[in-house]
């Protein structure tokens, strides 16, 4: 904090700080307070609002817990987001290591361009690409049957399709933090470990992974938060049985029109995500500040 | 050894005896690090052999060789404790925790850091990190320790201290050290044998004394220690003595290999072999002192060679005792050296 004042002087530093606080207040604090406030009030027709029935209750949360399906979908969303995170991590770590320590300069350039091109399209179009690939009479089934790996086409839409589509959509948010972290690893560390007789597995476990830990944690936080809050991929690639919790939140707000219950659902998801993220950071022994760096 | 179109290390052959402190000395870019990486197995030679204990190592990866490398950056693992660092090679060999711990303690004793096992590398000083890196390499009981300028990151005082310590560790463990450096004083101070390299070629192998008093090439004469050079043409070679005639006069000195009359050559004379009051021999120079650099036990006098077209600077060492009799600054005087102390080497 004092560093800001030292560097920019009191007036300019104060303006920066004020803008940051304004941003936090406008984008996080006010909507957050509004949401929590709404989630704790009953849904009433306009004439009764502010009346004696308009008191703080936990009915909206109780509804979520007692609902036959919603609780299950809530946990499935969290669990599937964790799965998406794990899949992107397993995909990205080898690519990131290759980019940072193995590939030649031109290979890095080509690879980065190839990885970035899909991100020039928006998320809906990227989801649509998977919608086409995974279609019942689409290319994936055709190829798998053509190769003789399957006899019957498979219905990919559903949980599997959603995880695949999301893993693809959020790949770069995992890749870049890990790539950045591994790039800063001294090449001699790997050479030294190898010279001392360590296997590739041990070199990664004992030397590369500890160094890349902060990058991995950052990537996991990004991907998990985005997956849990995703709406497009489940809407496009899901099946009736694989609804995402965000879809239910959307229904409460805009289809049923019960903002209070929608707010409660949203707050519950937010709380769960925060808990998972903080748990994840504690597990990695990384603090929030260094993870965001 | 080639990298694309560049030949980093040209054809060379050298023998290192067991238990020797062997240095490879050369300016940066001379191929010494490439040579070390060839010995360690990080690089495979385009042509030729690397023999360790008489066995051909070409194609054998670094971890299967009886060598261990100390990196310029030391490359200690920052997320492991000191003892885990030291025992990492044993861990990779599947040695159990208790024994690893014991071995790490033994090596910490050896490097005079007992009780430091539970610290993190970041908590150690530069010299201590240096020693831990050596202990980590010694833990896998290598026959050859390869050191890639490990002292270059340290400040002067610590560097000098670590020289003695490295030398001492080498003698106590009996492990062959192959030490890469661009610092000639480091190589001279520590080594049993030194190989001087330049431009990917081996210039000379010898003890520090041999390199200093009997350089075989002009490069070695100029790179190892301080030297005065006088250029000219060889006019006669007989009985191990060569006569050189040049713009500065006619001088004689010991003849280097491959000298023929008519060849361009350089005569080298060490600053301590030049003396102001010399009456003997035909090797005489007219000098005038520009300044003295006082260095404690002795002083270095920088003098300009008089009576020649292009001014040439010579320097000579004057002992503490001789300083009172030394010529005054600016006053011309005659200096001489004996032919025994000078060497004539072909200039290429």
In a domain, B332, yes or no: yes
CA dihedral A34, A39, A43, A46 (to 10 degrees): -10
A242, pLDDT greater than 80: no
Tell me whether residues A188 and B93 touch, CB distance under 8 A: no
What's residue A287's pLDDT? Answer: 67
* Contact residues on chain B for A186, CB-CB shorter than 8 A: 73, 75
Count of the separate structural domains present in chain B: 2
Pair (B248, B124) in one structural domain: no
Task: Give the residue-averaged pLDDT of A146-153.
Answer: 84
Count of the separate structural domains present in chain A: 1
- Say which of B62, B77, B91 has its CB closest to residue A195: B62
In a domain, A47, yes or no: no
Indicate the SS3 state at residue A239. coil
- CA angle centred on A116, ends A111 and A121, rounded to 5°: 150
Distance CA B290, CA B302 (A): 6
Pair (B182, B249) in one structural domain: no
* Contact residues on chain A for B77, CB-CB shorter than 8 A: 189, 192-193, 206-207, 210
Pair (B144, B254) in one structural domain: no
Pair (B78, B108) in one structural domain: yes
* Contact residues on chain B for A216, CB-CB shorter than 8 A: none
Question: The CATH number of the domain where B142 resides is what?
Answer: 3.40.50.300
Distance CA A183, CA A211 (A): 10
For residue B87, give how far its alpha carbon lies from the nearest alpha carbon of chain A (Å).
10
Nearest to A224 by CA among A77, A94, A113, A123: A77
In a domain, A28, yes or no: no
What's residue A290's pLDDT? Answer: 60
Per-window interface: B 279-318 vs A, CB < 8 A: none
What's residue B278's pLDDT? Answer: 55
Tell me whether residues A198 and B63 touch, CB distance under 8 A: yes
* Contact residues on chain B for A198, CB-CB shorter than 8 A: 63, 88-89, 91-92
- Say which of A195, A202, A210 has its CB closest to residue B40: A195
Residue A132 Cα distances to A10, A149, A156, A236, angstroms = 56, 20, 11, 10
Q: Residue B291 belongs to what domain range?
A: 226-346
Nearest to B135 by CA among B209, B83, B212: B83
Pair (B165, B117) in one structural domain: yes
Greater confidence, B12 or A86?
A86
What's residue B246's pLDDT? Answer: 81
In a domain, B218, yes or no: no
Query: What ipTM is given for this predicted complex?
Result: 0.78
| A104 close to A111: Cβ distance less than 8 angstroms | no
What the block records as the tokens of A269 is: 């998801």
Per-residue exposure over A59-86, b if at least 16 CB sit within 10 Å of its own CB, e if not: ebbebbeeeeebeebbebbbebbbbbbe
* Test the B interface: residue of A184, A191, A192 with most B CBs within 10 Å: A192
In a domain, B73, yes or no: yes
- Name the band, by pLDDT with cuts 50, 70 and 90, for residue A49: confident
- Say which of B42, B74, B92 has its CB closest to residue A197: B92
Nearest to A96 by CA among A182, A164, A161, A32: A182
- CA angle centred on B38, ends B32 and B39, rounded to 5°: 95
What's residue B281's pLDDT? Answer: 62
* CA atoms within a 13 Å half-sphere pointing along the CA-CB vector of A42: 12
Per-residue exposure over B19-31, b if at least 16 CB sit within 10 Å of its own CB, e if not: ebbbbbbbeeebb
Q: Residue A282 belongs to what domain range?
A: 59-292
What number of C-beta contacts closer than 8 Å exist between A and B? 61
- Say which of A197, A210, A211 has its CB closest to residue B63: A197
DSSP secondary structure of A88-154? HHHHHHHHHHIIIIIS-HHHHHHHHHHHHGGGGS-HHHHHHHHHHHTSTTSHHHHHHHHTTS-SS--
- Say which of A186, A194, A207 has its CB closest to residue B62: A194
Question: The CATH number of the domain where A157 resides is what?
Answer: 1.10.3720.10
Pair (B69, B197) in one structural domain: yes
Tell me whether residues B140 and A196 touch, CB distance under 8 A: yes
What's residue A226's pLDDT? Answer: 92
Pair (B138, B230) in one structural domain: no
In a domain, A101, yes or no: yes
Residue B298 Cα distances to B247, B314, B322, angstroms = 30, 16, 9
Residues in contact with A203: Cβ distance below 8 Å, sequence separation at least 6, in sequence order: A190, A193, A194
pLDDT tens series, chain B, 348 aa: 566 556 667 777 888 888 899 999 988 878 888 888 888 888 888 888 888 887 888 888 888 888 899 998 899 999 999 999 999 999 999 999 999 999 999 999 988 888 899 999 999 988 899 899 999 999 998 999 999 988 887 888 888 888 888 898 899 888 999 999 998 888 888 899 999 988 888 889 999 999 998 888 888 988 888 888 888 888 888 888 888 888 878 888 888 887 888 888 888 988 888 887 656 567 888 888 888 888 888 888 888 887 766 678 888 888 877 777 778 888 888 888 888 888 888 876
Pair (B257, B324) in one structural domain: yes
In a domain, A230, yes or no: yes
In a domain, A249, yes or no: yes
Pair (B79, B55) in one structural domain: yes
Pair (B249, B208) in one structural domain: no
Pair (B254, B140) in one structural domain: no
B164 class by beta-carbon count within 10 Å (0-12 exposed, 13-18 middle, 19+ buried): exposed
Q: Domain ends where: B156, B181, B213?
A: B213
Q: Partners of B145 in the beta sheet? A: B68, B177
Q: Report percent pLDDT > 70 for chain A.
A: 97
Per-residue exposure over B276-285, b if at least 16 CB sit within 10 Å of its own CB, e if not: bebeeeebbb
Query: Using the 8-state DSSP alphabet, how is residue A254 labeled?
Result: I
Tell me whether residues B63 and A211 touch, CB distance under 8 A: no
In a domain, B141, yes or no: yes
pLDDT tens profile A201-218: 999 999 999 999 989 999
For residue B59, give how far its alpha carbon lies from the nearest alpha carbon of chain A (Å).
15
- Say which of B42, B89, B93 has its CB closest to residue A191: B42
In a domain, A221, yes or no: yes
Q: Which residues of A touch B (CB under 8 A)?
A: 186, 188-189, 191-199, 202, 206-207, 210-211
Pair (B144, B205) in one structural domain: yes
Tell me whether residues B63 and A196 touch, CB distance under 8 A: yes
| B74 close to B129: Cβ distance less than 8 angstroms | yes
A292, pLDDT greater than 60: no
């Amino acid at each position: 904090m004092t560093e800001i004042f030292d560097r920019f002087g009191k007036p300019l530093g104060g303006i920066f700080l004020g803008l940051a606080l304004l941003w936090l207040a406008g984008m996080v604090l006010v909507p957050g307070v509004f949401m929590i406030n709404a989630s704790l009030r009953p849904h009433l027709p306009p004439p009764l609002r502010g009346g004696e029935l308009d008191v703080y209750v936990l009915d909206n949360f109780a509804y979520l817990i007692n609902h036959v399906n919603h609780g299950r979908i809530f946990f499935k969303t969290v669990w599937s987001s964790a799965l998406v995170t794990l899949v992107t991590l397993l995909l990205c770590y080898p690519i990131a290591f290759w980019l940072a320590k193995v590939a030649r300069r031109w290979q890095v350039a080509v690879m980065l361009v190839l990885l970035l091109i899909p991100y020039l399209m928006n998320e809906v179009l990227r989801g649509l690409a998977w919608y086409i690939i995974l279609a019942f009479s689409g290319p994936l089934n055709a190829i798998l049957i053509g190769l003789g790996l399957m006899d019957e086409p498979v219905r990919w839409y559903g949980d599997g399709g959603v995880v695949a589509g999301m893993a693809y959509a959020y790949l770069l948010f995992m890749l870049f933090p890990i790539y950045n972290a591994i790039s800063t690893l001294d090449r001699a560390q790997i050479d030294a470990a190898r010279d001392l007789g360590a296997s590739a597995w041990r070199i990664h476990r004992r030397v590369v992974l500890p160094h890349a830990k902060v990058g991995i944690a950052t990537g996991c936080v990004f991907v998990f938060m985005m997956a849990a809050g995703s709406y497009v991929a489940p809407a496009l690639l899901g099946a009736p049985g694989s609804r995402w919790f965000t879809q239910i939140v959307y229904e409460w707000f805009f289809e049923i029109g019960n903002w209070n219950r929608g707010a409660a659902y949203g707050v519950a998801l937010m709380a769960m995500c925060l808990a998972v993220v903080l748990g994840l950071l504690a597990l990695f022994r990384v603090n929030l500040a260094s993870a965001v760096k | 050894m080639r990298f694309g179109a560049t030949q980093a290390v040209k054809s060379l052959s050298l023998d290192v005896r067991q238990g020797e402190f062997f240095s490879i000395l050369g300016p940066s870019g001379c191929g010494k690090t490439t040579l070390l990486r060839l010995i360690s197995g990080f690089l495979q030679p385009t042509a030729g052999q690397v023999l360790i204990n008489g066995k051909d190592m070409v194609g054998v990866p670094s971890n299967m060789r009886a060598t261990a490398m100390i990196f310029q950056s030391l490359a200690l693992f920052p997320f492991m404790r000191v003892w885990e660092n030291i025992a990492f090679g044993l861990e990779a060999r599947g040695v159990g925790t208790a024994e690893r711990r014991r071995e790490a303690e033994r090596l910490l004793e050896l490097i005079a850091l007992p009780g430091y096992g539970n610290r993190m590398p970041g908590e150690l000083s530069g010299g201590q990190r240096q020693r831990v890196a050596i202990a980590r390499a010694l833990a896998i009981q290598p026959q050859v320790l390869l050191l890639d300028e490990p002292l270059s990151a340290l400040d002067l005082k610590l560097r000098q201290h670590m020289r003695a310590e490295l030398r001492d560790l080498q003698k106590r463990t009996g492990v062959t050290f192959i030490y890469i450096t661009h610092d000639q004083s480091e190589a001279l101070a520590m080594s049993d044998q030194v190989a001087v390299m330049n431009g990917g070629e081996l210039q000379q192998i010898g003890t520090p004394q041999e390199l200093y008093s009997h350089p075989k090439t002009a490069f070695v004469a100029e790179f190892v220690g301080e030297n005065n050079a006088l250029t000219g043409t060889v006019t006669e070679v007989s009985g191990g003595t060569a006569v050189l005639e040049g713009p500065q006069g006619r001088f004689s000195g010991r003849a280097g290999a491959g000298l023929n009359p008519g060849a361009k050559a350089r005569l080298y004379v060490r600053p301590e072999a030049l003396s102001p009051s010399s009456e003997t021999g035909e090797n005489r120079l007219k000098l005038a002192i520009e300044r003295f650099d006082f260095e404690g036990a002795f002083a270095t006098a920088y003098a300009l060679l008089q009576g020649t077209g292009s001014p040439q600077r010579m320097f000579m060492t004057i002992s503490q005792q001789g300083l009172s009799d030394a010529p005054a600054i600016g006053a011309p005087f005659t200096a001489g050296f004996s032919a025994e102390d000078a060497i004539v080497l072909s200039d290429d």
